[in-house]
Chain A
């Protein structure tokens, strides 16, 4: 379980959020510049909150004004908006960069149907394939939490729909908390067990989605 309480001064407003994520998909929904990515960055340790508390499964990452666990040791899989694949490395080098076991990395590649791309470079594969490589790379580190920053925004409708199915399947399979940032209300309703609406750094409301997913 992830506990988050972040207070951070941003350029135009004060970010102040508090929430809990269990083994579910929580969607952070809001307009551009409302502080969604900053929340992910604070949880991952890429950005520092002014004060607050961030803990995962009773391990305290950040408390008060001090970081207790460096970003390298937080065991968080982070899928960036543009995937941030290493452009000078092959797909296999990307996935094996932080892998815990070679077997898991190979299983993930089979699972995500990217086994045939092993020797390809990121510029040689499609957007949907890049996304699956990025998911495999994040999961190969055996993370205890998955952060997704608009992972489907660059994909066409068909690939996006496949990606949605994939995410729900993987979350059930891995049973870890997932936080996803999106602009799309339709996507939020489709994927989120809960949707948290954010405006200018503050929570507007939280919705439990009742409908069955996808």
Chain B
């Protein structure tokens, strides 16, 4: 282990960060629209959103390959129109991370938007506030602890994604070799020292994220639930 190629670390961080931003924005918007409204087919829609959470990552990878593969409709369309190929690029790493981490973000955001009293939004509306103002001044701050939990979980999930990434992006050193892929291929080639290095690093990252999240949530929960001291 003379020289350590840190490419998997940077690639993992870069792709997980981009995937988390995408997942956070789309997850919050979708959860806000779906969570508190009833409409026909809501159960089916939510089941589809949550599906990647229960499916084996290889099945998700197979699905993505079927969707973005060279011979698929979308794959051909992207190639013909934009001369762009998804499979075996770092874009594929991001897509795989987005799909597997999205259910975690959606679940946390939907729960966060349901957990506070809806009348606080109604009160703001009756005071003349626009939907946009109510979202940014009431809904978003009140849901923030849950949204942040979803964000951290989604980031951790994106960072640890393996199966779908391998199927859609393959293992191309310095291009698609995220930490989980690097661990697998280091073990495959008998380089246990390097594999151990990556394993310890990813455990430390995951552990820190969860530890910080627990500490932060506890602090925030106490903030709103504290009762009047002199009561």
Contacts and interface: CB of A to CB of B under 8 A. Distances in A.
Chain A partners chain B:
yes
Interface in A82-128: 82, 84-88, 97-98, 123-126
How big is the A interface, by class? 20 to 34
B124 A74 contact: no
B141 A98 contact: no
Nearest to B127: A98
B123 interface: yes
B210 interface: no
Instruction: Say what secondary structure dominates the interface of chain B.
Output: helix
Given A86-B120, A86-B138, A77 B126 contact: yes
A131 B59 CA distance: 55
A98 B120 contact: no
A80 B127 contact: no
A44 interface: yes
A212 interface: no
A87 B128 contact: no
Contacts of B119: 80, 82, 84
Contacts of B129: 72, 97-98
Nearest to B130: A72
Contacts of B127: 97-98, 137-138, 141
Nearest to A47: B122
Interface residues of B, number: 24
B142 A88 contact: yes
A73 B142 contact: no
A84 B128 contact: no
B124 A124 contact: no
Given A82-B117, A88-B141, A98-B129, A123 B227 contact: yes
A97 B123 CA distance: 10
A72 B125 contact: yes
A78 interface: yes
Contacts of A82: 117, 119
Given A86-B138, A123-B224, A46 B126 contact: yes
Given A71-B125, A87-B224, 16 more contacts: A72-B129, A77-B126, A80-B119, A84-B122, A84-B123, A87-B116, A88-B224, A97-B124, A97-B127, A98-B128, A123-B225, A123-B227, A126-B231, A137-B123, A138-B127, A141-B126
- Which 6 interchain pairs have the tightest Cβ spacing? A98-B127, A84-B119, A84-B123, A78-B126, A80-B119, A84-B120
Interface of A: 44-46, 71-78, 80, 82, 84-88, 97-98, 123-126, 137-138, 141
22 contacts: A45-B125, A46-B125, A71-B125, A72-B128, A78-B122, A78-B123, A78-B126, A80-B122, A82-B117, A82-B119, A84-B123, A85-B123, A86-B123, A87-B142, A87-B224, A97-B127, A97-B137, A98-B128, A123-B228, A124-B228, A126-B231, A141-B126
